[in-house]
Amino acid sequence: MKTKNSWYSTIQPKQWKALFAAQLGWMLDAMDVMFYAFALTSIQQEFFLSSAEAGALASVTLIASAIGGIIFGALADKIGRAKALMFSILSYSIFTALTASAQSVIALVVWRTLVGFGMGGEWSAGSVLVSETWPAEHRGKAIGFMQSGWAIGYILSALIAAFILPNFGWRILFVVGIVPAFFTLWIRRNVQEPEIWISYKTSKIRKQRVSLITIFQKPLLSKTLIASFITTCVLFAYWGLFTWMPSFLSIPIDKGGAGLGIVKSSTWIIPMQIGAFFGYLSFGFFADRYGRRLVFLIFLIIAAILVPLYGQLAHHEVILLALGPLIGFFGHGYFSVFGAMLSELFPTEIRGTAQGLTYNIGRAFSALAPFTVGSLADVYGLGSALALTAFFFLMGAAVMFLLPETKGKQLS
């Protein structure tokens, strides 16, 4: 029986399908990209890499993902959100599987670079697809559901890694990364382009010249610069923290880690990602009710408090396990703001390009994070190095209030 409070009863089947496509694509994206984080120790040993070099390899993927996100964002404006989403998933899944063939560091760099292109493109296309398909009053919730796919993918990655790495090695782990490619067949048959994008493509407005330079001109320039700075701060904090989290939990205590080993550390990751799952969802509901900026501020401040504390408790397994869901909840949940708020800042004709560029400028600069944390870890230990990310959480929180509140904004 439907009631006034059942918001979900107002959502149409095509809107659910668009959300499912973006959420599952993001989930499988997370699974593929986090395979590298779980295989990091094994790859370091096989190729004799220092922590800084292993972090630099992760940075290569992030730089490529930034480029891919910008390209696929522009592609989504030209050929459609659903089509761009489909091509991005094909890209990252195929090249993740090919990573298994690497016999040298150069080959690893090549394959991880190509993985990055598709990885960045998935979010750019998927977030715009959901934002334009769902009604304004529920957009935050929808993006929260989409983002929650990352936590599910992270958990899947942890479970698969815990089974495959000890028994078959890291190469077989990457072979599993081909699985998402088969999901694109479902997208092609079931997901429609947003009506707002179709209307734009068939209207007279389309004849007006729109290019990348548009978002660097008034009145969009300030929004572009501020949004890019926020994503830079927050993504630096995120990738600096969570690229190294599996290694922090697995490496010995005398090297600044928690000393849990590969299998146990994968188990410890699961409650953390369950917390992340609920963080993504909760943020969406809170942001639709109380506004994007306030909820974002609260999440980031708490994350900045928890991260240094977590990094210094390597000797206390039970406390790490207990804090894990909180780190996941507050260290991930704020991401739900980007899909909603960035789409609400820019017009339809440039939305995919703008959303892809502002998010992925941040991702490009955040590529320095794994390398920076890895370099500090070589000197001070990994637990202490992770504390650096708290500063960037706080910077992102402070700058958010330079942007307008966009809760409930209708897209036009």
Chain centre to alpha carbon of residue 385: 22
What is the per-residue pLDDT across 117-165, written as a single tens digit (0 to 9) for each?
888 888 888 888 998 899 888 898 999 999 898 888 888 888 898 889 8
Q: How far is CA 294 from CA 113, 127, 171, 308, 367, in A?
A: 36, 21, 44, 23, 27
In this prediction the pTM is: 0.79
Q: Which two tokens stand for residue 31?
A: 């699974």
Q: Is the peptide bond before 219 cis (omega within 30 degrees of 0)?
A: yes
Q: Helix, strand, coil % (nearest 5) of the chain?
A: 85, 0, 15
Please tell me which of 1-10, 110-119, 245-254 the model is most confident about, judged by mean pLDDT. 110-119
pLDDT band with cut points at 50, 70 and 90 for residue 5: low
Cβ of 5: how many Cβ atoms within 10 Å? 7
At residue 374, φ and ψ (nearest 5 deg) are -65, -40
Cβ(8)–Cβ(281) below 8 Å: no
CA distance 236 to 388: 10
Alpha-carbon distance of 68 to 92, in angstroms, equals 10
pLDDT the model gives residue 206: 54
Burial of 188 (0-12, 13-18, 19+ CB in 10 A): exposed
Give the pair of three-digit tokens for residue 252: 């010995």
The pLDDT score that the predictor gives to residue 209 is 59
DSSP codes joined into one string, 21-83? HHHHHHHHHHHHHHHHHHHHHHHHHHHT--HHHHHHHHHHHHHHHHHHHHHHHHHHHHH-HHH
- 61 close to 183: Cβ distance less than 8 angstroms: no
Say which amino acid occupies 197. W
pLDDT, residue 1, reads: 45
Q: Which domains does the chain have, with CATH numbers?
A: 15-193+213-402 (1.20.1250.20)
Residue pair 241/52 in contact by the 8 Å Cβ criterion = no
Say which amino acid occupies 326: L
pLDDT at site 252: 75
Percent pLDDT > 90 in the chain is 27
Q: Name the 3-class secondary structure at 285.
A: helix
Residues 254-273 pLDDT 10s: 776 766 776 677 677 788 88
Give pLDDT, residue 16. Answer: 93
pLDDT tens for 203-260 read 755 555 566 688 888 888 999 999 999 999 999 999 888 878 877 787 777 776 766 7
With beta carbons less than 8 A apart as the criterion, state whether 262 and 249 touch: no
Give, in order, the Cα–Cα distances in Å from 28 to each of 123, 156, 405.
11, 9, 31
Q: Are 138 and 55 in contact (CB under 8 A)?
A: no
Q: Tens digit of pLDDT for each residue in 355-376?
A: 888 888 888 888 788 888 888 8
